[in-house]
């Protein structure tokens, strides 16, 4: 039986998400860091434009395709860019922000803050006597924590997490269910999503006539502050050097990071990216979904790599590439346009076009 849908709970269903409020308009505007005309108004929820009611605050991207939804919304208030504020219906208050997406994230966090950590250790957890765990830490069921582990204040360790010997974890870290960590040092405010595997052996071996010879992986994984690592992502520890993930980096689900990889500050790695060993990403690199990078490369700061690209050579800073093998975006699309012209004309340079040419036939 399909459960009934309560449309009023489509955003932030209280069965799953803690909700606080209502909040005054002034409190919402202050949280957003935005501007709005003063009005006595209480806002109870966040909601999409299409289903918002007279008690809700909504949000509109600075894109003309959303104008019909904005014009029809019943929301009490809408977070918008200055270019859109004149399009907000008279029934709604325009909360004007130079970056509406950032403002909206702050409003959403006001109504749906992270649940507070509940200090304590579940009785089913197995914790080595030498582990040093701050009293404010929350440890869930069936967690295993090894010798000499250090866990800082206000961390939340969810069910069935395994933390290997000597791992160190900073402040305000969240680790999702079934994650495992070994040979790792973690900074503050890191979020490791469910099922992530961090610190396992890198893929290192030598080939001999007798077979493969495994190379010991004696490096570590260093995760700096404010990093997020998505569900079922894997981060191999280094062979001799460390695998490093720079501060503020966001890593999506199902990403593979090989041994000795060094990722700079505030990089973005989208789902199913694969980075081979010893490759270096400088700061602010963006790798779109399913991009693959060969080993021992250097990707310059600010570079953007398109989805499903295959990067096989170093890239200078602020490159924009796509394709496999990856090449500059303008070059790639010029080639595509040229091939399409050839197809429309029905001829390709170098194609055999002799008058006496006959099709190949099977011979009995």
Look up residue 293 and give its two tokens. Answer: 């990078």
d(CA 80, CA 36): 10
Give yes or no for a cis peptide into 22 (omega within 30° of 0): yes
Which of 178, 259, 284, 296 does the annotation list as catalytic? 259
Q: Is residue 259 among the annotated active site residues?
A: yes
Q: Which of these, 316, 260, 195, 326, lies nearest to 275 by C-alpha position?
A: 260
- 3-class state of residue 238 by DSSP: coil
Q: How many helices (H) and strands (E) does the chain have?
A: 4, 39
Q: Two tokens at 273?
A: 């990216």
- Strand bridging mode 234-236 / 256-257: parallel
Q: 51 with 29: CB under 8 angstroms?
A: no
Q: Where are the alpha helices (DSSP H) in the chain?
A: 25-32, 67-72, 100-111, 329-345
* Paired tokens of 316: 């200078």
Annotated active-site positions, please? 259
């Amino acid at each position: 039986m399909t459960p009934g849908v309560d449309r009023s709970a489509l955003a932030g269903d209280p069965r799953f998400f803690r909700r606080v409020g209502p909040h005054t308009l002034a409190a919402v505007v202050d949280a957003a860091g935005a501007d709005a005309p003063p009005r006595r108004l209480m806002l109870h929820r966040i909601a999409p434009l299409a289903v918002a009611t007279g008690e809700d605050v909504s949000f509109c991207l600075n894109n003309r395709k959303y104008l019909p939804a904005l014009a029809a919304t019943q929301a009490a208030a809408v977070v918008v860019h200055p270019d859109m504020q004149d399009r907000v219906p008279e029934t709604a208050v325009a909360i004007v922000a130079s970056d509406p997406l950032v403002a909206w994230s702050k409003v959403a966090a006001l109504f749906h803050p992270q649940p507070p950590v509940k200090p304590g250790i579940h009785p089913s957890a197995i914790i080595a006597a030498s582990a040093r765990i701050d009293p404010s830490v929350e440890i869930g069921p069936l967690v295993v924590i090894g010798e000499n582990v250090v866990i800082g204040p206000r961390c939340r360790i969810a069910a069935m997490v395994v933390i290997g010997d000597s791992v160190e974890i900073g402040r305000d870290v969240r680790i999702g269910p079934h994650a495992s960590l070994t040979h790792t040092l973690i900074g503050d405010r890191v979020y490791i999503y469910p099922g992530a595997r961090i610190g396992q052996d890198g893929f290192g071996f030598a080939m001999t006539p007798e077979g493969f010879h495994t190379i010991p992986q004696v490096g570590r994984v260093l995760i700096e502050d404010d990093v997020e690592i998505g569900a079922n992502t894997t981060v191999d520890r280094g062979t001799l050097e460390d695998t490093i993930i720079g501060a503020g980096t966001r890593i999506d689900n199902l990403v593979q990071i090989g041994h000795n990889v060094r990722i700079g500050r505030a990089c973005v790695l989208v789902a199913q990216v694969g980075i081979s060993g010893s490759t270096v990403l400088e700061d602010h690199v963006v790798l779109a979904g399913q991009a693959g990078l060969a080993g021992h490369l250097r990707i310059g700061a600010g570079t953007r790599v398109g989805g499903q690209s295959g990067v096989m050579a170093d890239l200078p800073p602020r490159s924009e590439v796509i394709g496999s093998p990856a090449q500059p975006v303008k070059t790639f699309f010029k080639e595509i346009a040229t091939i399409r012209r050839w197809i429309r004309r029905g001829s390709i340079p170098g194609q055999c076009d002799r008058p006496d040419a006959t099709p190949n036939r099977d011979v009995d």
